[in-house]
Amino acid sequence: QVQLQESGPGLVKPSETLSLTCNVSGYSIRSGYYWGWIRQPPGKGLEWIGSVYHSGSIFYNPSLKSRVIISVDPSNNQFSLKLTSVTAADTALYYCARDEQGNWASDYWGRGTLVTVTS
Amino acid sequence: DIQMTQSPSSLSASVGDRVTITCRASQSIRHYLNWYQRKPGKAPKLLIYSASNLEGGVPSRFSGSGSETGFTLTISSLQPEDFATYYCQQTYNTPRTFGQGTKLEIK
């Protein structure tokens, strides 16, 4: 059974860097698929952040591209999100997910982790 | 960006009802449309991919149809576990965008 679990600080100060990790179990990242991040600010819709292949191929949301780094660590079977220069607008429930190549549907998701940007 | 518009935003229905949720894209997305179910505190669940394909393990009461700019998700006979929020998503191009969600509540 494929499982994804997000982890990271629940509180981040404005202007600092938000860092989250998604640990994958039940499937080897090296075996394929893209691995991505999605977020939902309180009271707003879902926003796709980006996704990465184990070889390093990456797609980013252009609206966040200047502040986002998504990386993959196949040796630990995990992937990460870094979002720099955060503001209150980055407060959100952050999900990690596995994306199927071709149709790009996210077939497995984590439960999400709430990150609040506050001083 | 491609805008996805879901309707209705909320819906009250009873167990056994047939329910349809609509999703419209601001431009053609061919068949690159997925449907998800989300319940509080749980991982979102893929129901339908590529407009009409049922994800493995998803009950057959769920079905999807449509192409280009108009899509529907139908639940043929609502069960208690189906009360949740449903989202459509286009994956025709990046950024991949979602509808605003349809909250399905018990009448």
Contacts of A100 in chain B (CB under 8 A): 49
Q: What is the pLDDT of residue A32?
A: 86
Task: Please give, rounded to a whole number of angstroms, the shortest distance from the CA of B43 to a CA of chain A.
Answer: 4
Q: Which residues of B64-103 are buried (b: 16+ CB within 10 A; e: fewer)?
A: bebeebebbbebeebeeebbbbbbbbbbbebbbbbbbbbe
3-state secondary structure of A40: strand
Give me the residues of chain B with pLDDT under 50, please.
none
pLDDT given for residue A102 in this prediction? 87
What's the pLDDT score for residue A75? 93
Residue A101's pLDDT band, with cuts at 50, 70 and 90, is confident
Q: Give per-residue pLDDT as tens, B26-40.
A: 999 999 999 999 999
pLDDT at A54: 84
What percentage of chain A reaches a pLDDT higher than 70? 100
Half-sphere exposure of B31 (CA within 13 A, CB side): 10
Q: Which residues of A touch B (CB under 8 A)?
A: 4, 45-48, 59-63, 95, 97, 100, 103-112
**CA A94/CA A47 separation, integer angstroms:** 10
What's the whole-number mean pLDDT along residues A99-109?
Answer: 94
Separation of alpha carbons A96 and B81, rounded Å: 24
A45 and B44 within 8 Å at the Cβ level: the answer is no
Distance linking the first and last C-alpha atoms of chain B:
36
For chain A, the distance separating the N- and C-terminal CA atoms, rounded to the nearest angstrom, is 39
* Cα B105 → chain centroid: 15
The whole-number pLDDT of residue A111 equals 97
Place of tokens 């431009």: B27
Average pLDDT, chain A: 96
Q: Which residues of A66-103 are buried (b: 16+ CB within 10 A; e: fewer)?
A: eebbbebeeeebbbbbebeebeeebbbbbbbbbbbeeb
In tens, the pLDDT along A14-66 reads 999 999 999 999 999 999 899 999 999 999 999 999 999 988 899 999 999 99
Contacts of B34 in chain A (CB under 8 A): 103, 105-106
